[in-house]
Amino acid sequence: MALRPSPDYDEVRYRQRLTAEAVAVLRERPAFSLGGVQDVRATVGQAALGGVLEPLDLLDIASTLDAAREARRTLTRDVQAPLLAAVAERIEPLPSLAAEIRRSIDPRGGVTDAASLALAAIRREVHVTHERLMERMQELMRSAVARGVAQEPLVTLREGRYVIPIKAEQRSQFPGVVHDVSQSGATIFVEPLAVVDAGNRWRELQMEEQREIERVLRGLSADVGSEEAAILESIAALGAIDLVLAMGRFGFAIGAPLPLPGEDPAWIALGGEYRLIDARHPLLKGSVVPISLVVGGTEARVLLITGPNTGGKTVALKTAGLLACMAQAGLPVPAEVGSRLPVYREVFADIGDEQSIEQSLSTFSGHVSNIIAILRGADVASLVLLDELAAGTDPAEGAPLARAVLEALLERRSSVLATTHHGELKAFAHETPGVMNASVEFDPRTLAPTYRVIAGLPGGSNAFAIARRLGMPEEIVRRAEEAVAPEQAQLSGLLTQAQAERDHLAGEWQREQIARREAEEIRTALADRLRGIEEERESLLASARAEIEEDVRDARLALRRARRDIERAERETLLAAAPRLEEASDVAERIERRRRLRRRRGDGEEATPVDRIVAGDRVWLTGLEQPGEALGPPDERGELEVMLGSLHTRVRREQVRRVAHGSGVVLEVSLPPPPLSAAEEIEVRGQTLNEAMPKVETFLDQAFRAGLTRVRIIHGKGTGTLRRAVRDRLAAHPLVRSYETAERAEGGEGVTVAYVGG
């Protein structure tokens, strides 16, 4: 109720930014609220003055602190709302105080045993004392009943003491303290002397319990009082947040498009034109016709609205004024995006019948008094709303007075919305720069207003059409039409014709907009479809390319395996056909001829095995162009040690294709045994350089000796250290002719493919 529009531009923008954040928060978290918060300022003040609060008041404080803590957490951590978060930062949740209250007081308002050790001990003793007291009372009651002394077998309470109802005539038979007498006097309620001490002890413990409860409440109240400043600041922050959330919910309730959620309110302007696009009065129900208007810009600082009664002129004025005030108060505005609302220093309005019997003012006098006050304060930062300007007096004098008022406001550069029935003012608006005619639309076919504001075109009163619609006799209406001056009738006809032409152009424009929108939708749909086709084509090509590459890799692998199988089968077949050593030379020549034939067919170079090798000979190995040096003859297993640069390696005799010793080159053949088996890949991922590099050396040597030409080294990506070390060694290794990064399907940068041999 205390909310007021602010005339300060920065304050208005801040309020609208807060509201925009609230709208965004409520869209993300519709259930977010300040449920549980109570206005505890009065009770906190009482505690600060030393008062002892009631348990339920303390529970309200705990509930408020819990809700405050939840609100602070949500706005500062869970959502993106920097301005609301800044407000929430002012909240001091005091979790320990809230926890202490909840530990000490149960939801029904009772003080719990956990409130203090003394209270728990007292209550245990109260319970034990009460149990013993009741056991003794039951024994005495049964005895009294058996002796016929008791009126009935019942133990009851009178003034906080347990008593037994005794027959009045048997009073002397039952010693004790009388605490009550029945109305008839036939029954007296006696506390037996045997339990008086136990009853006293029970009552004493009850009073101790009450004193301890009061001590607990006093301590909690003192704790609350010591935090008065923090709690009051939290309540103030919660009040500010509550207001902004209420504004956001109000925006949802009235369907207000502005402010845009979470965005800077660029539609709040410092001066300039006041533009409303499809604005609605927030209190109107049902199907509301939106209003669009512009005033205060360079073209028109004064908008003069004419038209019939009940056409919506006053509603247009009230909507413009109310929405300006709502925007400057920080409230959501029911106007479409594209609207622009300046920040006014003041909004003046003269709307309605100001007739006053008490002040002896007529309608005209009331309007004039208001206008005088407006003229005193209006300036460039003012919005002025004038309804039925200069009405209630002779039109011959009222029209010139209204014109003079509008000229004065125009000189002050105020933004003015005015309605009138004076025809002379329509011409004034047409002729005067800075003043624009406008009208509320009237449908001549239905003889009913449409409530739309049309800028640039004056409106007629349509008095005759309205009179006919309301049932005025035709003869009277026709007689009135005949009495209208010819020039006035001509003007009404021109206005009607202009209105019809405007409606026609508006219809054409609307149809053009529909066609343009449909064409744009078709273009967008075709572009989306083309983009989808292109993406599908690229996907199919990529998939086909991957399948082909995989097939090629499989085919190469199968070809290498088939070649090794064929050679193994040849050796086995030829060895079986040549059991004697003397036939070995012929067998070797046949193998060599077949290999040369395959080489001519493109099957690749094959090795020419040699027999006699001694230390110091230069030897060429299969797949290598540079020779190495034999360090000795082959051993009994057919293996010899060779130095290739700085590398020492052992190779099988059949891997030597050429040897040079003495004065010439000797080529002697020996039957090669089946090649050694070796793995086609090695994994050293996660190992140190000292662990990995010797394994890579051994792996390359075994691969070469087994006749493999393509191997994979899995080193992983990691920091890249192991990958660089492996590739540096491959680049300098005499058994490796080249290397490359594996395909993505084989591991990409985490795997290096090495090609062994020539």
Q: Residue 526 — very low, low, confident or very high, per pLDDT cuts 50/70/90? A: confident
Q: Please state whether beta strands 434-443 and 448-455 pair in parallel, antiparallel, or not at all (unpaired).
A: antiparallel
- Lowest average pLDDT, out of 24-33, 409-418, 513-522, goes to 513-522
pLDDT value for 136: 93
Q: Residue 238 — very low, low, confident or very high, per pLDDT cuts 50/70/90? A: very high
Q: Residue 607 — very low, low, confident or very high, per pLDDT cuts 50/70/90? A: very low
CA distances from 409 to 325, 376, 427, 465 (A): 20, 10, 18, 34
The fraction of the chain above a pLDDT of 70, given in percent, is 83
Between 310 and 414, name the one with better pLDDT: 414
**This model's pTM is above 0.85:** no
- What interhelical angle do 395-411 and 423-431 show, nearest 10? 30
Q: Residue 573 — very low, low, confident or very high, per pLDDT cuts 50/70/90? A: low
Query: Residue 603: pLDDT above 80?
Result: no
136 touches 198 (CB < 8 A): yes
At 92-125, the pLDDT tens digits run: 989 999 999 999 999 999 999 999 999 999 999 9
Smallest CA-to-CA distance from 343 within 16, 711, 715, 685 is with: 16
The residues with which 454 forms a beta bridge, in sequence order, are 439
pLDDT value for 651: 82
Exposure letters 675-697 (e unless 16+ CB within 10 A, then b): beebeebbebbeeeeeebbeebe
Between 718 and 214, name the one with better pLDDT: 214
Burial category of 64 from C-beta neighbours within 10 Å (exposed 0-12, middle 13-18, buried 19 and up): buried
Compute the distance between CA of residue 57 and CA of residue 313 in angstroms, rounded to an integer: 54
The residues with which 628 forms a beta bridge, in sequence order, are 619
- The answer to whether the peptide bond before residue 634 is cis (omega within 30 degrees of 0) is no
- Tokens 């600041």 belong to which residue? 233
- Tokens 């070995």 belong to which residue? 584
- Tokens 């039951």 belong to which residue? 138
Between 445 and 3, name the one with better pLDDT: 3
Query: Residue 188: pLDDT above 60?
Result: yes
pLDDT value for 118: 95
pLDDT value for 280: 93
Measured in whole angstroms, how far is the alpha carbon of residue 606 from the centre of its chain?
69
- Count other C-beta atoms under 10 Å from residue 547's C-beta: 10
Coil/strand/helix, residue 342? strand
Range among 163-167, 437-441, 699-703 rated most confident: 163-167
The residues with which 156 forms a beta bridge, in sequence order, are 163
Q: How does DSSP assign 504-555, residue by residue?
A: HHHHHHHHHHHHHHHHHHHHHHHHHHHHHHHHHHHHHHHHHHHHHHHHHHHH
Coil/strand/helix, residue 749? helix
Compute the distance between CA of residue 415 and CA of residue 193 in angstroms, rounded to an integer: 95
Query: Residue 277: pLDDT above 80?
Result: yes
Smallest CA-to-CA distance from 547 within 698, 377, 745 is with: 745
pLDDT value for 276: 95
Q: Kindly provide the residue ranges of all beta strands, DSSP E only, lying in 211-290, ordered along the sequence.
A: 268-269, 274-279
Compute the distance between CA of residue 249 and CA of residue 255 in angstroms, rounded to an integer: 10
pLDDT value for 602: 43
At 702-758, the pLDDT tens digits run: 888 787 889 999 998 888 889 999 999 898 888 888 899 998 888 888 999 999 875
Compute the distance between CA of residue 109 and CA of residue 102 in angstroms, rounded to an integer: 10
pLDDT value for 120: 95
Mean pLDDT for 497-520 is 69
User: SS3 for 458-491, per residue?
Assistant: CCCCCHHHHHHHCCCCHHHHHHHHHHCCHHHHHH
Domains of the chain: 10-94+227-254 (no CATH), 116-205 (1.10.1420), 268-479 (3.40.50.300), 580-666 (no CATH), 681-756 (3.30.1370.110)
Look up residue 97 and give its two tokens: 């105080």
At 323-351, the pLDDT tens digits run: 999 999 999 999 999 999 999 999 999 98
> CA 215, 218, 224 angle in degrees (round to 5)?
145
Exposure letters 456-494 (e unless 16+ CB within 10 A, then b): ebbbbbbbbbbbbeeeeeeeeeeeeeeeeeeeeeebbee
Long-range pairs for 327-330: beta carbons < 8 A, 24 or more residues apart: 327/5, 327/12, 327/16, 327/258, 327/268, 328/5, 328/6, 328/7, 328/12, 329/3, 329/4, 329/5, 329/6, 329/15, 330/3, 330/6, 330/12, 330/15, 330/16, 330/18, 330/19, 330/244, 330/247
Compute the distance between CA of residue 313 and CA of residue 293 in angstroms, rounded to an integer: 12
pLDDT value for 279: 95
pLDDT value for 732: 85
Smallest CA-to-CA distance from 726 within 680, 716, 701 is with: 716
Q: Residue 404 — very low, low, confident or very high, per pLDDT cuts 50/70/90? A: very high
The residues with which 291 forms a beta bridge, in sequence order, are 279
At 460-492, the pLDDT tens digits run: 556 666 677 777 888 887 787 677 655 454 445
Largest CA distance in the chain: 156
